[in-house]
Chains A and B, each alone.
Chain A
């Protein structure tokens, strides 16, 4: 297995780290919710590839993620959406994006009126404390989104470093 990393934790270093963490958390709680402008470039590009020029609106889709995650390797998420799921009006697809994972895409689901309802669950990896975005693509060509901020204490993806 991996060798233990020789990190010397002095009292001073610990205190500096702890202060930084506390400061960071205070900052996070102070930020207003739904700051789309803060989304990094790669995520915006990935979302653009799905949404195109259509407007992205908040609502009609609901994503549930635990607000505080101890282990980013398997984070349960559940997605529900408001839709009658008829032939004329249904959810066509659902896409999930992250802003700080190595790659913005997480998973894309193609569904249809036969689903009867929208209730999808899966498990994802989170590399960092970040905002996760879910986008629902409706049969009428509109796009709806939901954002959830998740605090991660043990990150996934890069744990060998």
Chain B
């Protein structure tokens, strides 16, 4: 299943400005603690890691546990240093992986 990811980064920023980055991805984040109709636990299926890089340099990383809500939403800040690409990668159980990139122009 292809995951739908929504990322929000301002397309333009002044050099040195603190910008807000928001990332949302569709994922059930099955906790592994819930029983199904027959009483067996539904196996865990979560996103375990979120990494954001700015022109290849890591600026933010999150380790996620089952207590993060379904469709994980993460908002954070970074300083706009140079024009380039901001890339976000989510990885998780069952080989889950999703990547989104967005360009930012810094003047």
Instruction: List residues of A whose CB falls within 8 A of some B CB.
Output: 2-3, 73-75, 98, 101-103, 105-112, 114-126, 156-161
Which positions 25-44 of chain B face chain A at CB distance < 8 Å? 31, 33-37
Report the minimum CB–CB distance from B88 to chain A (whole Å): 14
Chain B residues whose CB sits within 8 angstroms of the CB of A157 once the complex forms: 31, 33-34, 66-67
Say if the beta carbon of B78 comes within 8 Å of chain A. yes
What CA separation (Å) do A156 and B70 show in the bound complex? 11
| A109 adjacent to B62 (CB under 8 Å) | yes
Cβ of B6 within 8 Å of any chain A Cβ, yes or no, is no
B69 to chain A, nearest CB (A): 4
Q: Find out whether the CB atom of B60 lies under 8 angstroms from the CB atom of A73.
A: no
B residues bordering A, Cβ < 8 Å? 18, 20, 31, 33-37, 54, 57, 59-70, 72-79, 81
Task: Known A74-B70, A111-B60, A122-B72; judge A117-B18 contact (CB<8 A).
Answer: yes
When the two chains form their complex, are residues B37 and A2 in contact, meaning their CB atoms are under 8 A apart? yes
Instruction: Please determine whether B69 and A75 come into contact, CB atoms closer than 8 angstroms.
Output: yes
Check A122–B73 contact: CB distance below 8 A. Answer: yes
* A159 engages B70 (CB within 8 Å): no
Taking a contact as CB atoms under 8 Å apart, the answer to whether A120 and B75 are in contact is yes
**Given known contacts A115-B76, A116-B77, is B60 in contact with A160 (CB within 8 Å)?**
no
Known: A114-B79, A116-B78, A119-B77. A107 touches B65 (CB 8 A): yes
Q: Are B79 and A116 in contact (CB under 8 A)?
A: yes
Measured in the bound complex, the distance between the Cα atoms of B33 and A156 in whole Å is 10
User: Chain B residues with Cβ under 8 A from A3's Cβ?
Assistant: 37
Q: Select one of B18, B54, B67 contacting A105, CB under 8 A.
A: B67
Q: Is the CB of B69 within 8 A of A110?
A: no
Q: Smallest Cβ distance from B104 to chain A, in angstroms? A: 14
Q: Chain B: which residue is nearest A97 at the CB level?
A: B67
Residues of A within 8 A of B69 (CB): 73-75, 122-125, 156
Chain A: minimal CB distance from B25 (Å): 12
Contact status B36-A109, CB under 8 Å: no
Contacts of A106 in B (CB 8 A): 65, 67-68
Given the interface pairs A110-B60, A112-B59, A116-B78, the reply to whether A122 lies near B67 with Cβ below 8 Å is: no
Pair B68/A123 contact, Cβ less than 8 Å: yes
Rounded to whole angstroms, the CA-CA distance of A40 and B63 in the bound complex is 22
A102 to B71, CA, bound (A): 20
In the assembled complex, which residues on chain B have CB atoms less than 8 Å from the CB atom of A75?
69
Known: A112-B59, A117-B18. A102 touches B66 (CB 8 A): yes
